[in-house]
Amino acid sequence: MPYVLVINSGSSSIKFQIVDPTASASDEPFVSGLVEQIGEPSGRITVKHAGQKYVVQKEVATHAVGLEETFALLDAKGVGPTQLDIVAAGHRVVHGGMVFSQPELISDPVVEMIRTLIPLAPLHNPANIDGIEVARKLLPNIPHVAVFDTGFFRDLPPAAALYAINAEVAEKNLVRRYGFHGTSHEFVSSQVPALIDRDPLHTRQIVLHLGNGASCSAVENGHAIDTSMGLTPLAGLVMGTRSGDIDPGIIFHLYRQGGMSIDEIDNLLNRQSGVKGLSGVNDFRELRTMIDNEDENAWLAYNVYINQLRRFIGSYMIALGRVDAITFTAGVGENDKHVRADALDNMRMYGIEIDPEKNDLPNDGPRIISTDNSTTKVLVVPTNEELAIAQKAARLASQIR
Ligand code: AMP
In this predicted structure, the answer to whether residue 309 has a pLDDT above a threshold of 80 is yes
Contact call for residues 300 and 275 (beta carbons, < 8 A): no
| Fold category of 2-148 in CATH | Nucleotidyltransferase; domain 5 (3.30.420)
Structure confidence at residue 1 (pLDDT)? 76
Atom 17 (ligand 1) nearest CA: 335
Structure confidence at residue 361 (pLDDT)? 94
Q: How far is the CA of 210 from the centre of ligand 1 (A)?
A: 8
Structure confidence at residue 363 (pLDDT)? 84
Q: How far is the CA of 342 from the centre of ligand 1 (A)?
A: 17
285 lines ligand 1 (CB under 6 A): yes
DSSP one-letter code for 50: T
In this predicted structure, the answer to whether residue 26 has a pLDDT above a threshold of 90 is no
Return all residues near 98 (Cβ < 8 A) that are at least 6 apart. Answer: 154, 174, 176
Closest of 108, 149, 152, 150 to residue 132, by C-alpha: 108
Positions of CATH 3.30.420.40 in the chain: 2-148, 196-385
286 lines ligand 1 (CB under 6 A): no
Atom 18 (ligand 1) nearest CA: 335
If you count DSSP H runs as helices and E runs as strands, how many of each does the chain have, helices first?
15, 14
Catalytic residues: 149
The percent helix, strand, coil of the chain (3-state, each to 5) is 40, 20, 40
Burial (CB < 10 A; 0-12, 13-18, 19+), residue 358, is middle
* CA dist., res. 287 & res. 244, Å (int): 18
Q: Assign domain 196-385 to its CATH superfamily.
A: ATPase, nucleotide binding domain (3.30.420.40)
Structure confidence at residue 116 (pLDDT)? 96
Atom 19 (ligand 1) nearest CA: 335
274 lines ligand 1 (CB under 6 A): no
Q: Considering the chain, what is the average pLDDT of its residues?
A: 95
335 lines ligand 1 (CB under 6 A): yes
Residues 324-339, mean pLDDT to the nearest whole number: 97
User: How close are the terminal C-alpha atoms of the chain, in Å?
Assistant: 17
Residues 225-253, mean pLDDT to the nearest whole number: 97
| % of the chain surpassing 90 pLDDT | 90
Contact call for residues 327 and 206 (beta carbons, < 8 A): yes
In this predicted structure, the answer to whether residue 95 has a pLDDT above a threshold of 80 is yes
**Residue range 39-94, pLDDT digits in tens:** 888 899 999 999 999 999 999 999 889 989 999 999 998 999 889 999 999 999 99
Residues 189-206, mean pLDDT to the nearest whole number: 98
Structure confidence at residue 70 (pLDDT)? 92
* CA dist., res. 330 & res. 240, Å (int): 13
Q: How far is the CA of 286 from the centre of ligand 1 (A)?
A: 10
331 lines ligand 1 (CB under 6 A): yes
Residues 209-218, mean pLDDT to the nearest whole number: 97
Query: Strand ranges (DSSP E) for 132-261?
Result: 144-148, 204-210, 214-220, 223-227
| pLDDT band with cut points at 50, 70 and 90 for residue 11 | confident
Burial (CB < 10 A; 0-12, 13-18, 19+), residue 119, is exposed
Structure confidence at residue 364 (pLDDT)? 84
* CA dist., res. 219 & res. 214, Å (int): 16
**Residue range 285-306, pLDDT digits in tens:** 999 999 999 999 999 999 999 9
In this predicted structure, the answer to whether residue 401 has a pLDDT above a threshold of 80 is no
Partners of 19 in beta bridges: 4
Structure confidence at residue 238 (pLDDT)? 98
Structure confidence at residue 82 (pLDDT)? 86
Half-sphere exposure of 31 (CA within 13 A, CB side): 25
Atom 16 (ligand 1) nearest CA: 331
**Residue range 101-121, pLDDT digits in tens:** 999 999 999 999 999 999 999
Residues 148-155, mean pLDDT to the nearest whole number: 97
| % of the chain surpassing 70 pLDDT | 100
* CA dist., res. 347 & res. 4, Å (int): 43
Q: Which residue of 238, 335, 381 sits with most ligand 1 atoms within 8 Å of its CB, as the best mutation to test the pocket?
A: 335
100 lines ligand 1 (CB under 6 A): no
Contact call for residues 358 and 369 (beta carbons, < 8 A): yes
Structure confidence at residue 400 (pLDDT)? 81
Phi/psi at 376 (nearest 5 deg)?
-90, 120
